[in-house]
A = this chain, B = another copy of it.
Amino acid sequence: MVRILNEGSKTVRKKLEILRGAAGAFRERGFEGAGMRDIAEAIGMAPGALYYYFKSKDDLLYFCQDYSLDRLLVEAAAIEKRRLPADEKLQLLIEAQLSCMLDELGGSAAHLEFHALPSRLLRGIIAKRDRYEAILRRIVEAGVRSRVFAPLDPKLVSLAILGAINWTIKWYRPGGGLGPQEIAETFSRLLIHGLSGRPTK
């Protein structure tokens, strides 16, 4: 995280803008199919200028995953510490992750293409992802312990929640009918109260 912050926020903002643009190229050609040239074209940038920000697609991929996990880890740690019941914490976490993935990154598939990273970069990303998933699991576990939640397996529940959220990358279209906030509200109601449960509001 230090490395990224040291790059200065203007560069980071520009990189995020590129990622949001790249998301469109990945949607159209698949993550493997879209090259640096397609990405440059999708964002109306000269390929040379794109290479100034990202040396390669691996570099772009690494930034996308590293930046988003750093951001999510900061937010998740803050949510975990708050004095709130588990269901409210979970709702905040679902909102934070969907907002990061869909708003800030524009629903970019790069966020989830772990296998595409070279293994020396992958290790650090997987360690961060595991820390994020551990926070989610602890929130679910705490809810089960305090009987805010039913006694379901916290690991399976966490994987179901991550699945529902991560899968949005496959179908979300920026500017389409449903915004990240609406998606977060319905997902929270579904996961916390269930299809047969009463809505929260």
Give me the interface of A with B, judged by CB distance under 8 Å. Answer: 30-33, 87, 90, 115-116, 140, 143, 148-153, 156-157, 159-168, 170-171, 178, 182-183, 186-187, 189-199
- How many whole Å from A82's CB to the nearest CB in chain B? 18
Q: Are A195 and B149 neighbours in the complex by a CB distance under 8 Å?
A: yes
Q: Which residues of B contact A170 (CB under 8 A)?
A: 163
- How many whole Å from A154's CB to the nearest CB in chain B? 10
User: What is the predominant secondary structure among interface residues of chain A facing chain B?
Assistant: helix
Q: Are B195 and A192 neighbours in the complex by a CB distance under 8 Å?
A: yes
Task: Quickly give the copy total for this chain.
Answer: 2
Q: Are B32 and A196 neighbours in the complex by a CB distance under 8 Å?
A: no
Leading 7 A-B pairs by shortest Cβ distance: A163-B167, A194-B194, A30-B115, A160-B164, A193-B194, A163-B164, A149-B195
CA distance A97 to B79 in the complex (A): 34
When C-beta atoms are compared, the residue in chain B nearest to A156 turns out to be B186
> With contacts A87-B195, A183-B156, A199-B150 known, is A166 near B163, CB below 8 A?
yes
CA distance A167 to B150 in the complex (A): 23
When C-beta atoms are compared, the residue in chain B nearest to A87 turns out to be B196
Q: Are B160 and A187 neighbours in the complex by a CB distance under 8 Å?
A: yes
Q: Which residues of B contact A164 (CB under 8 A)?
A: 159-161, 163-164, 167
CA distance A116 to B32 in the complex (A): 9
CA distance A98 to B171 in the complex (A): 20
